[in-house]
Amino acid sequence: MTEPKLPICVAALYKFAPFADHAALREPLSKVCLAGGVKGTLLLAHEGINGTIAGSDEGIGQVLDHIRTLPGCADLDVKFSGAPSMPFHRMKVRLKKEIVTMGQPDIDPLASVGRYVPPEDWNALISDPETIVIDTRNDYEVEVGSFSGAIDPKTQTFRDFPAWFRSERERLMGQGKSPKIAMFCTGGIRCEKSTAFVKAEGVDEVYHLQGGILKYLETIPAEQSLWEGECFVFDQRVTVGHGLVPGNYGQCHACRRPVSEADSKSPLFEVGVSCPACHDERTDKQRITYRERQKQEALAAQRGEAHIGARYGAAQTDER
């Protein structure tokens, strides 16, 4: 039996493209989004566009049509999924130095990138004992799910990846013939830069999962999958599973990390204030501020309004 279609269309997208004046693209793009009732976050930089948006099929289609008219964006990469309700509170089009922040200005995915591996061929690649599989996402994302046997760099931000690779390179590569390196991330964009970086470091056989985890979960049946757990996404769904159905995690409104059912029962968890992962990172003064913010958001929700301080409006799309 086919599951009913969820009412909200969610589109995760990115494209590396040489925008001569990315700031000039902001206002027209914002207008198209607002006119179509679309919400989410889109990032614009000289190197291209990245983001996640949600709305009606028609509204999303209008925005994508507009983006595909931008220089170099005719073949825009988009991953679609659904949500039972709008996963964003507002629409933001932001100007950035990078559409995914790695902090390596000399890396250009348009000039050099790893070999794309479609989801249908991914299992064979990562099952090869000669392949080193690296999860390029951040530590809190890896905690809720990853491919079996993948290396977790335990990075807190994508900026940490170059230093991690350089420090671990000798151990990873070993002696003699260089192994194959296969990388993956949520939607594919981080791997565009991580594979370009690793190639610049002199590694030849570098691969990455085309379309990222989202495309794999959409394409590969659960019974054939090597994915374990759920996939963290940067909106109110928090996680998704096979078939891109919404997952089982909540989210800490203080640090935006995923919260499991066990986490929610911890004495360190307080809605809108703290979770076991961030409790010791915050001061009592900060928690007082968070409690007041949570109170105001609860009152706004009772009135059917989105509080101006709502956290989900600014999704961390630059880390996808």
Q: Residue 24 gets which letter from DSSP? A: G
- pLDDT, residue 171, reads 87
| 265 shares a domain with 210 | no
User: Do 137 and 190 form a contact (C-beta atoms < 8 A)?
Assistant: yes
| 155 shares a domain with 197 | yes
Structure confidence at residue 318 as a pLDDT band (50, 70, 90):
very low
Question: Is the pLDDT at 28 greater than 90, yes or no?
Answer: yes
**What does the DSSP assignment read for 224-259?**
G--EEE-EE-SSTT-EE-GGG-B-S-EE-TTT--EE
The number of beta carbons lying within 10 Å of the beta carbon of residue 131 is: 17
Question: Is the pLDDT at 294 greater than 60, yes or no?
Answer: yes
Question: Is the pLDDT at 1 greater than 90, yes or no?
Answer: no
Q: Quickly count helices (H) and strands (E) in the chain.
A: 9, 15
- Residue with tokens 């589109």, as numbered in its chain: 11
Mean pLDDT, residues 259-282 taken together = 94
Structure confidence at residue 317 as a pLDDT band (50, 70, 90):
very low
Supply the CATH number for residue 167's domain: 3.40.250.10
| 292 shares a domain with 261 | yes
Percent of the chain with pLDDT over 90: 80
What stretches of the chain adopt beta strand conformation (E)? Answer: 8-16, 39-45, 48-55, 77-83, 91-95, 115-117, 131-135, 145-147, 180-184, 206-209, 227-229, 231-232, 239-240, 250-251, 258-259
Q: Which domain holds residue 84?
A: 8-99
- Evaluate whether residue 168 is within a structural domain: yes
| 139 shares a domain with 92 | no
Mean pLDDT, residues 38-59 taken together = 97
Mean pLDDT, residues 278-291 taken together = 91
| 177 shares a domain with 87 | no
Supply the CATH number for residue 70's domain: 3.30.70.100
- Evaluate whether residue 2 is within a structural domain: no
- pLDDT, residue 176, reads 59
- Evaluate whether residue 263 is within a structural domain: yes
Give pLDDT tens digits for 145-185.
999 999 999 999 999 999 999 999 888 887 556 789 999 99
d(C-alpha 173, C-alpha 283), whole Å: 42
Sign of CA dihedral 268, 273, 274, 279: negative
Give pLDDT tens digits for 189-229.
999 999 999 999 999 899 999 999 999 999 999 999 999 99
> Active site residue: 9, 185, 191, 231, which one?
185
| 163 shares a domain with 119 | yes
Domain end, chosen from 229, 261, 289, is at 229
- Evaluate whether residue 80 is within a structural domain: yes
- pLDDT, residue 52, reads 96
| 151 shares a domain with 85 | no
Residue 255 falls in the annotated catalytic set: no
Mean pLDDT, residues 104-132 taken together = 94
- Evaluate whether residue 316 is within a structural domain: no
Sign of CA dihedral 103, 136, 275, 312: positive
- pLDDT, residue 4, reads 59
Report which of 9, 48, 25, 41 is spatially closest to residue 188, judged by C-alpha positions: 48
| 134 shares a domain with 40 | no
| 27 shares a domain with 95 | yes
**What is the total count of domains within the chain?**
3
d(C-alpha 282, C-alpha 272), whole Å: 13
Question: Is the pLDDT at 2 greater than 50, yes or no?
Answer: no
Q: How many residues does the chain have?
A: 320
- Evaluate whether residue 268 is within a structural domain: yes
Whole-prediction pTM value? 0.86
- Evaluate whether residue 272 is within a structural domain: yes
- Evaluate whether residue 1 is within a structural domain: no
- pLDDT, residue 60, reads 98
| 219 shares a domain with 140 | yes
Q: Residue 18 gets which letter from DSSP? A: -
